[in-house]
Structure 1
Amino acid sequence: MGQPTIPPTPPDIDLSGKTIIITGGNSGVGFRATREFLVLGASRLILAVRSPARGHDAVSALMADPAVKEVNPEAVVEAFELDLDDYKSGERFCQRVKSEVKELDVLVNNAGIVDLKYHKSMSGHERTFQVHCYTHLLISLSLLPLLRRTARLRNQPTHISWVSSGTSATHSFAKRPIPAGSSVLAHLDDELNFDYMTRYSDNKFVANLLVRRLAAAVSPSEVIINSFCPGFLKPTGIDKSLPSWLGLVIGMTRRFKGRDVDGGARTFVYAAAVANQKTHGKFLQHNQVDDKACAWLDEAIGQDFSDRLWVEIMADMSRIDPDLSSLA
Structure 2
Amino acid sequence: MTCTSARTWLDIAPSPTRIMSIPPLPANTSLKGLSFLITGATAGLGYSTALLALQLGASPVYITARNAAKGTKTLESLLADPVVKAKNPNAKVEIYDLDMARWESVLAFGDKFVKDREAKGERLDIAVLNAGIAGVTWEQAPTGNEMMVQVNHLSTALLSLLLLPLLEKSTTPEHTARLTIVSSGMHLQRWGKLKQCPPANVNYLQTLNDKSRFDGLQRYGVSKMLVIFFVRYLAARISPDKVIVNNVCPGVVKTSINDRMPLWTWPILWMMGRGSNTPENGARAYIYGAAVVGKESQGQWYSCSKLRAYSDFVLSKEGEKMQEKEWKETMEVLEKVRPGVSNVVS
**After TM superposition, is the score higher than 0.5?**
yes
1:303 aligned residue (320, 323, 334): 320
- 2:5 alignment counterpart: none
Q: Distance in 2 between matches of 1:46 and 1:292?
A: 30
- Contact 1:178–1:187 (CA<8 Å) still a contact in 2? no
Amino acid in structure 2 at the alignment position of 1:321: R
- 2:232 alignment counterpart: 212
Q: Percent identity?
A: 31
Q: CA deviation at 1:33?
A: 1.0
1:30 aligned residue (22, 32, 46): 46
Runs of 4+ in 1 over 6 A off after TM superposition: none
* Secondary structure, counterpart of 1:322 in structure 2: coil
* Secondary structure, counterpart of 2:157 in structure 1: helix
Q: Distance in 1 between matches of 2:241 and 2:197?
A: 35
* Secondary structure, counterpart of 2:208 in structure 1: helix
The yes-or-no answer on 1:284 pairing with 2:302 is: yes
- 1:319 alignment counterpart: 336
- Contact 2:44–2:255 (CA<8 Å) still a contact in 1? yes
Q: What TM-score, normalized to structure 2?
A: 0.89
Q: CA deviation at 1:36?
A: 0.6
- Contact 1:156–1:222 (CA<8 Å) still a contact in 2? no
- Contact 2:192–2:225 (CA<8 Å) still a contact in 1? no
Q: Distance in 2 between matches of 1:91 and 1:58?
A: 23
- 1:274 alignment counterpart: 292
The yes-or-no answer on 1:120 pairing with 2:120 is: no
- 2:74 alignment counterpart: 58
- Contact 1:160–1:225 (CA<8 Å) still a contact in 2? yes
Q: Distance in 2 between matches of 1:77 and 1:111?
A: 18
The yes-or-no answer on 1:261 pairing with 2:279 is: yes
- 1:82 alignment counterpart: 98
Q: Distance in 1 between matches of 2:38 and 2:206?
A: 29
Amino acid in structure 2 at the alignment position of 1:62: L
Equivalent residues in 2 for 1:73-152 (5 A)?
A: 73-101=89-117, 102-151=122-171
Q: How many residues are matched?
A: 324
- 1:169 alignment counterpart: 188
Q: Distance in 1 between matches of 2:85 and 2:271?
A: 34
Amino acid in structure 1 at the alignment position of 2:336: R
Q: What residue ranges of structure 2 are gaps of 5+ in the alignment?
A: 1-16
Q: What TM-score, normalized to structure 1?
A: 0.93
Q: Distance in 2 between matches of 1:205 and 1:74?
A: 40
Q: Distance in 1 between matches of 2:24 and 2:317?
A: 40
Q: Distance in 2 between matches of 1:249 and 1:3?
A: 15
Q: Distance in 1 between matches of 2:81 and 2:267?
A: 31
Q: CA deviation at 1:12?
A: 2.0
- Contact 1:216–1:281 (CA<8 Å) still a contact in 2? yes
C-alpha spacing 1:74/1:199, structure 2 compared with 1 (3 Å): same
Amino acid in structure 2 at the alignment position of 1:266: R
Q: Distance in 2 between matches of 1:253 and 1:125?
A: 29
* Secondary structure, counterpart of 1:59 in structure 2: helix
* Secondary structure, counterpart of 1:189 in structure 2: coil
Q: CA deviation at 1:232?
A: 0.7
- Contact 1:165–1:228 (CA<8 Å) still a contact in 2? yes
1:201 aligned residue (221, 241, 245): 221
* CA-based RMSD: 1.7
Q: CA deviation at 1:177?
A: 5.4
Point out the more displaced range, 153-162 or 83-92: 153-162
Cα deviations across residues 172-225 of structure 1 (Å, max 9, x unaligned)?
452475344111221111112210001111111111111101101111111111
Cα deviations across residues 136-193 of structure 1 (Å, max 9, x unaligned)?
1111111111101111x35431111111111111254524753441112211111122
- Contact 1:44–1:76 (CA<8 Å) still a contact in 2? yes
1:236 aligned residue (255, 265, 268): 255
Q: Distance in 2 between matches of 1:62 and 1:251?
A: 29
C-alpha spacing 1:322/1:18, structure 2 compared with 1 (3 Å): same
C-alpha spacing 1:44/1:154, structure 2 compared with 1 (3 Å): farther
- Contact 2:136–2:216 (CA<8 Å) still a contact in 1? yes
Q: What residue ranges of structure 1 are gaps of 5+ in the alignment?
A: none
